[in-house]
Chain A
Amino acid sequence: MRISKRVSRHTQFRIEQALFKSLYLFCRAIPARWVLGMGKGVGTLAWKLKARRKVVLKNLSLAFKDKYNQSEIEEIAFKSYQHFGREMMRVLILDQEAQKPIESWIDIKGLDLLKNREQKGGLLVGGHIGCWEIANFVLPKLGEHVTVFTGSHTNKVADKWLNQIRSRAGTITAGAGDDRIELFETAQKGLVAIVGDQAPPKAPILIDFFGRATDAAQGPALLSLLNRVDFFYFSCLKMGERMQVTINKVDFEMAETRKENVKRLTQAYFKILEAEIADHPEQYFWMHKRWKHSPDVDYGENDVLF
């Protein structure tokens, strides 16, 4: 988002960098619970300022029109703003959070599935639900070599900072600009983690998501099928004061063509994601225009902010 047309993109990046750095240093000087509390406050403020509120409410209505009424949808939306405000701020202290003993705040389900996989390689695919940055550093701490495919932000400076924090937390990252051949080969030698639930810019396939034909990326399923490595769904959800990391092996009935297999595998992991979202709707990232390519979905005019 541009601040103003009078401000060049370079200047804006520098302003953002300065703000980010100040916030980062400030957050390191205060207790973690204050940082997270401040994040919750930022989420509340964003809700009150109606930042992307139309998009969030539209997405929730599309997903849950038969399950919740309008006031319940607004309640979920409000809680999701607070959740993401808190989790965004947690990223700034991710390396500090990573120092805490895992067992003191994180429960892990399904680690045996990962440990017992037949090949060294594998795909770990998750969605924008809960606290995915935590899942990214927990597995390396448990002895798994995981490369996290982060994609890249338009602001390279923020990207670099974010990746430095991730790196200090123990996460190995690869960006969208990185060589895809290397990513392909990495999935043969170790685990590649991808948060792959957003609308892809190119080459989508159509799957069912909340009863609606939805664009999905083929990449994760292709990486698994072409490399003949297992495909796992992973997530990290906030459960009261603790975190719950869950790993599921995604199975599906093999078809005759790879195209159909890509579709079935992608559909299978989206079904797991959908079930998690249905149980914890306030922890999903509703701010993305998930159904922007659907001909029958109109998000209308943008909100004043973002």
Chain B
Amino acid sequence: MDECLYRQAKALVCETLEVGEEELQNSTHFVDDLGIDSILIIELKTRFEEQYDITIGKQVLKDLNCLTDIIGYLTERNIQALLYPKP
């Protein structure tokens, strides 16, 4: 796993869902464990699309339930960590 990509993705998830990094373990389920409404997962999708300039399909969205799922998806799509933070 690309450590840099992992750190960036985790930070983005924490910022979007407004949860502390200590609360978010790799397998923490966004809805069941953090009480996140599924509407907010759509916001998460938008943030990742903007950050990495990608399009995340609607079908994929329902499988992105925890950080591990997101990292797996980004790795599968060969997404690289950003070298510079986006302005």
- Show the binding face of A for B, using Cβ within 8 Å: 179-181, 184, 202-205, 217-219, 222-223, 226, 257-259
Tell whether A218 pairs with B37 under 8 Å between CB atoms, given A179-B58, A226-B43: yes
Task: Name the prevailing secondary structure of the B interface residues.
Answer: helix
Of the candidates B36, B39, B45, the one having the most CB atoms from chain A within 10 angstroms of its own CB is B39
Q: List 8 A-B contacts (CB under 8 A).
A: A180-B39, A181-B58, A184-B42, A202-B32, A204-B35, A218-B37, A218-B40, A219-B39
Say how far B10's CB is from chain A's closest CB, in angstroms. Answer: 19
A222 touches B37 (CB 8 A): yes
Residue B61 interfacial (CB < 8 Å): yes
* Docked complex Cα distance between A218 and B36 (Å): 9
Chain A residues with CB under 8 A of B42: 180-181, 184, 226
* Docked complex Cα distance between A223 and B58 (Å): 18
Say how far A253's CB is from chain B's closest CB, in angstroms. Answer: 18
A181 touches B37 (CB 8 A): no
Tell whether A222 pairs with B35 under 8 Å between CB atoms, given A181-B58, A257-B18, A258-B18: no
Say how far A41's CB is from chain B's closest CB, in angstroms. Answer: 41
* Docked complex Cα distance between A79 and B32 (Å): 39
Say how far B23's CB is from chain A's closest CB, in angstroms. Answer: 12
B37 touches A219 (CB 8 A): yes
Residue B54 interfacial (CB < 8 Å): no
Look across to chain A and name the residue whose beta carbon is closest to the beta carbon of B30: A203
Say how far B83's CB is from chain A's closest CB, in angstroms. Answer: 29
Chain A residues with CB under 8 A of B43: 226
